[in-house]
Structure 1
């Protein structure tokens, strides 16, 4: 099946030519399709000969061209794809997991076939010329010649004007030093705009931007350039420094959009080290426009370098200070006006905190990045005071309704429907809390068929098992934010958009689940089979008062399935359990990594999982990986089934994987542009499974927010909730599910924050915001987290 996008028949060729070659470059299939038979935004079936099969593991190549009368390489209709290669001759390398007789190909560009190549050759020629022709040196040579010619001329003026050639004009210009000075000054002014155009084009946001954003973006970049100039006092050097700061940031946005589907934000700078740990598992390809922009960027900077002037002469100190102070003052004024006033908002340049991709497209990458600088700190909520915090705490203590008494007439089963377990008669069980990387259960949120169930064991768990959907606040990335919610009961709803709590706001003792359990006599250990520095965990776990942190350095010759396998991680759980201090109960927090993106590693799977009907390279690899996770979880459960000491295990997914958008569209039964809030929330739903080797009852189809998962686990372990968690329990009676996108009511309906809030819900959310802010303030936190 070929999936076509939007196109006009008059803009493309008449006949589509499709050719398939095998690994030896032999043509195994060839066909021509009249374009008039192809409808925009629909799929077209390709009927292949039954003898055409592609053996498993063989790399094949699909070549698509389009022709019309008198043009053998016409523009081809738009194809939906994730592969980015040639414009008109579409070449795609596909790794087939099974014998295939139909293929779902995607993507191309409306460029002439030779256009990117011709432009690049032209750019290389310019680059060559600039490399070997120093403009300043040329100016000196021509100036000497010019002065020599003047001496030979007669003092009398010619009565007749001589016509000048272009070459003469160039010689005249280069012979005058002021001309180069003027060129340099003009370039200094327009350089921010040129870089803005280049990098917004590279990020494919230029055509979608609001027109009013352009001058503000230029002003913003010009202000940065002025600050650099104030420091170095060299125009060309200032331009080069600005350009080589902005260019890597633009590339970072390309990479992050490719990986997680959201733009690069200020808080992401703190996660660069973490990103480099997994970067080799992702593929990064350039479109034709990006292929052109990158050499153009270097050509422009070489031009800037070539017009550099001589070193500044010494100036009086007072004059030097003035020349540095003026550009700094101008920069501060420009940035201050844009940052601290409503001028951007008045020009309709605003941020959509619920749609970061849309904001980036409308505002452009650089302006969007600037706007999000506002979110680097937590704002004090309206009405906040220490007295208000203490009042909420006292109300929570005296409110008997906070002891898990669910509201009547509910249509959903949530955390508040479960009471504290009493089957252990006060004995504290061992608690194993597992955050499984990118774990998703698509069968609970949509319709899709596989060749086998990737979570077969998990779906078979019934006895002493509570399971359902856990709504998190991140998609495709942002693991540590889900970890933070699940460990503290806090919600990302009240944190700045796009922030990372572990890296920005964890500076002192953090009253988390581990801190609370430690106060009850537990030994608390954490496991993560990757670098301890990722997401600042090495410091965060210290602030959470974990006794021990097992990182990748503590795994000797581990098994790898893409990364260190889940089974290897669970072996470490069992090892710590067997070496525990038996005089104390054990709390283990395990963060796995096996299912981490990207999903184009061509792993040789023992039990490959494939989506039926269509071929999704990334989805199939991801699902095959989760099958191995399912097997590993069975290994862990089987071990603890044989243990007599009471133990409870809770596993949940940190977020869903960033795989083909087309897969999610098929899963939800509608294209992304038609998704409503309820559809969007389905991409934020991960499974949770709570099992114990003692009686905790059974339930499935439970729904809760990630901030409530800790409460359900503590109650199932028979542990009394601290007062802060009791307040969260009270909130969950009215708001069973909430995350960064919105909240669900007791009827199972989703709502946006703000416009849909009743007075009761607004008060609960305001109190929650105030109490959570107090969590980071200087009040006596023991009053929040003690009993």
Structure 2
């Protein structure tokens, strides 16, 4: 092999190289991290690859005939290393500092992909360019998801690409040092492929068939054998971003796929589920409409959270003064949700059904994957008690498959953004989203337009506070005084929370003046995706070094139940979303199915069960998979949830709903007396306070 300087090519190669180097100088600020430090190694690497691109373009490469075929075949085994490096650049990872076994597996995944593409195309140049370009696209998508929502890509995200594209307009796209470096590496690989793979090596058909078999055979080896154990690797759900760093993007994603399938709980059977209900003396209340029943309003407020729980946050004004002021006829406290930064529908799923994401594989979205037939929910429970059921979400109805899921959950009507756009007066918007105030006006409209004697249940999923938080035309009204620094996105977010607090005050004030009893629940779906440095300043340490207790702080949001009639006040220190609808029913004095009574009993022992871990009644924190999570009650929960969601042929009747359908025989629950619906648990984390009876809140 020899190299020869080509004057003609240098006429365009040198200007291209000069442009690349000048561009890197102009983009110097891109290589400065959030802490103001220059990412020197990335910057130097970019200059090196810019020069290598210029040299590769300038020189002719003369490969002897004897070597050409060997060079082409060598590309088949060297190119997977390049693809591995490209995708790990986006992971902000040194690919050769991860676990040795993971390096091997990542290389093998890309190798079998090369073999498959080569078998189909019979062109080495096409193979190298295609696979490395694919690695670039996948890496860019991985970085985008991690940047936008703060959590990495998981297999279930593949089912919601449309939704991701739909909401991505709210975020700004920035050129990063990782993107620049990956572009230069990919460009260099493409030039090498063109230069080195000049000879068309034709493989026989049976050779290509053998190469194509490598992919399914390796997949079988990975998923059907203890290959990960042999490589010294283990799978954990704890801190997935860190696991991607340790295992590499492709291998950890493949690990997740291995565990995404629905598995029966150990010792599961319909008979076992029935025995749990019988032994616990749980029995559904009889469905019966009552004129004394209150109207029920549940609001899941988009990204509503109190960042003061994360660390020492101080602002120039309180951003949720009204919610904090509520005391009379109020139950409020801290809610633990299953997601952070994004994934609204999973918090919604837990609340509306009482089921827990902790029993499902990471990265799944039940609204997209599991709700395909009528499913018992808070809506259907209230419908059985004579309520009309309406859902409001002032955004597109196809988001998270709500337009199909809501009817299956028992909602009579779904009001989406299209209904708001039909109004005579254009809906009020804050930034690009319909405001909370406008969304609450729809609740009031439904209340005022009811038939006489009609009891209503409204579930409102707001949109106002959706990320990102870098709108140039929205001026923050709340400013951060501690921690010190510039946090424009956090200030915009807190200002939106102040808007939400005011809108909620207006809603409460309206119903405080109504004579008809009404109970309102409002809670957040998750914390926002903000700059990492902001959260690290609040917590005083790197997010990679958080304990389970510190990590759980990132999953805390406030909730408040208020009524315009007398209810017992409570401050609840901790409760997870899967219990919240049962608490709402109990507080409103409504009927409960056996399943909800089971949940209220489980709550006494484990007030928090979420996708991050468990907190028991003594305040002990456990990560997912810790020995402390091996408990018969938790196993029972898993069995009942599986029967509820995944065993329709043997689903227990009269357990998840109030009444048994006429065509269905009742479950044999034994002859023991039923558990009263108003004897829910007195939480170990609950402090009850006495107060004067009042009909309305201030």
Q: TM-score range by the shorter chain?
A: 0.7 to 0.9
Match of 2:313 among 448, 470, 482: 448
Q: Which residue of 2 aligns with 1:260?
A: 149
CA drift of 1:295 comes to 2.8
Residue pairs, 1:770-781, within 5 angstroms: 770-775=639-644, 776-778=646-648, 779-781=650-652
Structure 1: gaps (5+ residues): 1-83, 93-104, 131-166, 404-419
Distance, in Å, in 2 between the alignment partners of 1:308 and 1:338 is: 31
CA drift of 1:394 comes to 2.3
TM-score in terms of structure 2 length: 0.83
Distance, in Å, in 2 between the alignment partners of 1:257 and 1:89 is: 18
User: For the Cα contact (< 8 Å) 1:85–1:287, is it kept in 2?
Assistant: no
Residue pairs, 1:443-522, within 5 angstroms: 443-444=308-309, 446-522=311-387
Match of 2:632 among 749, 760, 763: 763
Match of 1:649 among 489, 507, 520: 520
Structure 1 range deviating more: 540-549 or 439-448:
439-448
Deviations 1:35-86 (A, max 9, x none): xxxxxxxxxxxxxxxxxxxxxxxxxxxxxxxxxxxxxxxxxxxxxxxxx995
Q: Which residue of 1 aligns with 2:388?
A: 523
Q: Which residue of 2 aligns with 1:574?
A: 444
CA drift of 1:588 comes to 1.0
User: For the Cα contact (< 8 Å) 2:302–2:526, is it kept in 1?
Assistant: yes
User: For the Cα contact (< 8 Å) 1:375–1:499, is it kept in 2?
Assistant: no
CA drift of 1:399 comes to 5.1
Structure 1 range deviating more: 181-190 or 234-243:
234-243
CA drift of 1:629 comes to 0.7
User: For the Cα contact (< 8 Å) 1:526–1:546, is it kept in 2?
Assistant: yes
Structure 2: gaps (5+ residues): 1-24, 659-698
1:617 pairs with 2:488: yes
Distance, in Å, in 2 between the alignment partners of 1:445 and 1:183 is: 56
1:590 pairs with 2:479: no
CA drift of 1:312 comes to 8.9
Distance, in Å, in 1 between the alignment partners of 2:30 and 2:346 is: 43
Residue pairs, 1:119-130, within 5 angstroms: 119=48, 121-122=50-51, 125=54
Distance, in Å, in 1 between the alignment partners of 2:532 and 2:621 is: 22
User: For the Cα contact (< 8 Å) 1:88–1:113, is it kept in 2?
Assistant: no
Distance, in Å, in 2 between the alignment partners of 1:231 and 1:116 is: 34
Match of 2:105 among 216, 235, 259: 216
Distance, in Å, in 1 between the alignment partners of 2:126 and 2:357 is: 42
Q: Which residue of 1 aligns with 2:662?
A: none
TM-score in terms of structure 1 length: 0.74
CA drift of 1:444 comes to 4.5
Q: Aligned-residue CA RMSD in angstroms?
A: 3.0
1:564 pairs with 2:434: yes
Deviations 1:611-642 (A, max 9, x none): 43513222111111101111111121112112
Distance, in Å, in 1 between the alignment partners of 2:412 and 2:380 is: 10
Match of 1:358 among 235, 242, 265: 242
When Rg is computed on C-alpha atoms for both structures, the one with the higher figure is 1
CA drift of 1:679 comes to 1.4
1:304 pairs with 2:171: no
CA drift of 1:475 comes to 1.2
Residue pairs, 1:109-124, within 5 angstroms: 109-111=38-40, 115=44, 118-119=47-48, 121-122=50-51
SS in 2 for 1:594: coil
Residue pairs, 1:375-454, within 5 angstroms: 375-396=259-280, 398=281, 427-444=292-309, 446-454=311-319
Residue pairs, 1:21-32, within 5 angstroms: none
CA drift of 1:428 comes to 2.2
Q: 1:660 to 1:383 in 2, by over 3 A?
A: same
Q: Which residue of 1 aligns with 2:665?
A: none
* Structure with greater contact order relative to length (CA < 8 Å, sep ≥ 6): 2
Distance, in Å, in 2 between the alignment partners of 1:180 and 1:564 is: 63
CA drift of 1:186 comes to 1.6
User: For the Cα contact (< 8 Å) 2:582–2:592, is it kept in 1?
Assistant: yes
Deviations 1:111-158 (A, max 9, x none): 28984674464366368669xxxxxxxxxxxxxxxxxxxxxxxxxxxx
User: For the Cα contact (< 8 Å) 2:91–2:245, is it kept in 1?
Assistant: no
Q: 1:681 to 1:113 in 2, by over 3 A?
A: closer
Distance, in Å, in 1 between the alignment partners of 2:45 and 2:133 is: 24
